[in-house]
Amino acid sequence: MFVALITGLATGALYAAAALTYNVMFSTSKVLSVTTGHISMLGGIFGAWFISTLGWPIPVALVGAMGIGAVFGLLTDFIAIRRVLARSDEHLWLLSTLALATMVQQAAGLWWGTEPKPFPRLIPQDFSAGLGDQKYWLPIVIAILLAMALELFYRRTLYGKLFVAMSEDAFAARARGIPTGRIRSMSYVIAGAMGGLAGFAAGQLTFAYFALGLTLTLNGFIALAVGGLGSNAGALVGGAALGILSAVATYFVGGEYQQTISVGLLMVVLLVKPAGLFGSQSVRPV
Amino acid sequence: MQKLTLARVARLFVLSLAFAATAASAQSTIRIGWLSSLTGPLSSAAIAENQGVQFAVDEINAAGGVNGRKLELVTRDTSGEPTKAVNLAKQLAFVDKVDFIIGPVNSGESLATVPIVAKAGIPNLIIGTIDELVDAQKFPLAFRAINTNKQWIEAANDYALNVLKKKKIAVIGDTSGYGTAASKVAQDLLQKAGVTPVYVALVDPNKTDLTDELNKAKAAGAEVIMPWSAATGLLARLFNTRGDMGWDVPIVGHPAMMAPTVRPLLNKPDYWKNAFAAGYLSTTYDAKGKLPPRTQALMDKIRSKLGKGEIDFMFWWIALGYDTVKLVEHAVKTAGSTDAAAIGKVFENTKEFPGVYATYTWSKENRNGYPDHAIVVNIAGSFKDGSFQAAPR
């Protein structure tokens, strides 16, 4: 049972990292991009490729994986978000980001192959460490660090405050001279680097696998909805809750009900507390 | 007026010649529809099968075709998606008007396409393993060239019960349609043999850790772990968990356990030991390290097309793809035409057709062409140059 908790927590940390990535992109664009999980997928397969095939040192490969994520984040904004938001108020970004995510997954499958491939050991450690193995705690540590870094960024930096301003009211921010287009692009670059880092850190847990993206997109969204849209603490708690609940459900009930229970959790939260555990419903005075 | 008439006659003559040429060309080719999941999560087998299919088509055409008619391969990539497979099966049947359909590769896709192809009255060579895909009454022109899932499971059960002499078995399937169905069949067949599994679990194919499942199996007293899943990632995690636990319990199950793509996913190479999987006589080395002559002959012919060095994927996929086209050749040669009813009769009466992957026999009632005796059990970690060593008996 303790094993289920730890493995659930590690998987949940990856979902939490995806939820944090959603948050950063959502803050400036009000878009929930379907490409969120695919950023981490790219971080995983490029990280494995940089280290195992190109022989790059691990720190360089880490920067490379984050760079790939950042570039993909920027491309997401450029290809699937910018024009769609400029031309329509409808939620057409759902389709444009889904299309981009599908294209990226297909391309990754053609290039990388459709079978999972190994992700190298990042820290020298024997495989007999059990629950102390790095594949469990690396994603947990990275998710917590990402949440803390984001809080510092929002509270202590000028750009962070600009993100918050755009999140509150993008029109007012633009009226006050904030270059909202550039800030949005920056948020996608940061989100991309975060997703790449999360995928890299969890590579040993997930293997480098081209079809990982959609799973992370879905479960990251559930974690976000449970924790509360826009809340970094909520993303952590939502991810951990989802991971642990899935693991415990599998332990007691069986794997065939795992997905049902995950989506069931989402339904319950949406019905009981639609804003999520840490979310707040904004009321616009009229 | 006379000039005009002559011009018209000339034009009609030229047009009719062109039409006749087109008709003759259409008549002269035998169109084979090939539903293959060349991209998508299950593409590895399909890509290898495609090499066998393409090689056989080229070989037959280079030798002059079948009864003077060339083969024309119409390949459609289903991406492993049943909905896409249905649309492409309809396209092959009603737009491309093919004479045969091979595939699709995966059972889930085949469940969706087989009734459509049957309704269109086109002979269908089935290469999915689940039992429901063939039925002499409902799908009279569907003939299975691959083994059934039951044949794999019976071979694995026999090895666990009668060779390893173990009765306490843990069955672990994945939550995909295939894994769930295979796990159920495995349990039923064990029950028939008088053995109730001590532990049964279904796990998500992407589950990152199997420690709980193996701890429970161990606590239940399992002496053999029997996985039924084609997900190599899950199977590698099973090996890794068993190895990290230091539990040397035998693993006996699905052929995907032997896939060379499992090897790099293992924490240590030794973790692949004491594991056995259902496989094929055609790709099993004998005591002298030789392959069956027909397998060796195809390997020698095709090796130069597969790149330099040793073959790094399971050769049986190529052999199966190759055989499906050779079966088309056999059917058209024997029937003397591509008439669907005549082709159906030929397959129904086919006895001991010598393929590479197997020797095929069908009958009026039996649409499963793969013989039981050609299923063997291999050592999981013995992959070498596309083939395997037999498990000790």
- Condensed to tens digits (0 to 9), the pLDDT of residues B127-138 reads 999 888 999 999
Please check whether residue B262 is in contact with residue B232, taking contact to mean a CB–CB distance below 8 angstroms.
yes
CB contact under 8 A, B215 and A3: yes
Kindly give the parts of chain A with pLDDT less than 70: 89, 280-286
> How many angstroms separate the CA of residue A203 from the nearest CA in chain B?
11
A60-96 pLDDT, tens digit per residue, is: 999 999 999 999 999 999 999 988 888 876 788 999 9
**Domain shared by B384 and B265, yes or no:** yes
CA distance B326 to B223: 43
In a domain, A98, yes or no: yes
CATH number at residue B173: 3.40.50.2300
CA distance B185 to B155: 13
**Domain shared by B340 and B366, yes or no:** yes
Smallest CA-to-CA distance from B219 within B193, B197, B242, B199 is with: B199
| Cα angle, residue B251 at apex, residues B388 and A114 outer, rounded to 5° | 65
**Domain shared by B103 and B159, yes or no:** no
- Domain extent, residue B354, equals 10-148+312-373
In a domain, B302, yes or no: no
The lowest-confidence range among A171-185, A266-280, B109-123, B296-310 is A266-280
pLDDT value at position B6? Answer: 47
**Domain shared by B354 and B384, yes or no:** no
Beta strands in chain B (DSSP E): 29-36, 70-77, 100-102, 124-126, 142-144, 169-174, 199-203, 224-228, 251-253, 275-280, 284-285, 353-354, 359-360, 375-379, 388-389
In a domain, A34, yes or no: yes
Q: What is the pTM of this model?
A: 0.85
Provide the domain count of chain B: 2
**Domain shared by B126 and B244, yes or no:** no
Q: Is the peptide bond before B255 cis (omega within 30 degrees of 0)?
A: no
Q: Is the pLDDT of residue B358 over 60?
A: yes
In a domain, A206, yes or no: yes
**Domain shared by B259 and B161, yes or no:** yes
Smallest CA-to-CA distance from B38 within B84, B73, B79 is with: B79
In a domain, B3, yes or no: no
Q: Is the pLDDT of residue B295 over 90?
A: yes
**Domain shared by B113 and B200, yes or no:** no
In a domain, B294, yes or no: no
In a domain, A284, yes or no: no
Q: Is the pLDDT of residue B2 over 50?
A: no
Provide the domain count of chain A: 1
Give B240's contacts in chain A (Cβ within 8 Å): 127
- The rounded Cα B295 to chain-centroid distance in angstroms is 16
- Domain extent, residue A55, equals 2-213
B11-24 pLDDT, tens digit per residue, is: 554 454 444 444 44
**Domain shared by B238 and B382, yes or no:** yes
Work out the pLDDT band at B161, boundaries 50, 70, 90: very high
In a domain, A191, yes or no: yes
- The continuous run of DSSP H or E covering A89 comes out as none
Give B184's contacts in chain A (Cβ within 8 Å): none
In a domain, A164, yes or no: yes
In a domain, A66, yes or no: yes
Strand pairing report for B375-379 and B275-280: antiparallel
| Cβ-based contacts under 8 A for chains A and B | 83
Give B243's contacts in chain A (Cβ within 8 Å): 127
**SS3 category, B384:** strand
Local structure of residue B64 (DSSP, 8 states):
T
In a domain, A204, yes or no: yes
CB contact under 8 A, A115 and B40: no
CA distance B208 to B188: 28
- The rounded Cα B226 to chain-centroid distance in angstroms is 21
**Domain shared by B109 and B225, yes or no:** no
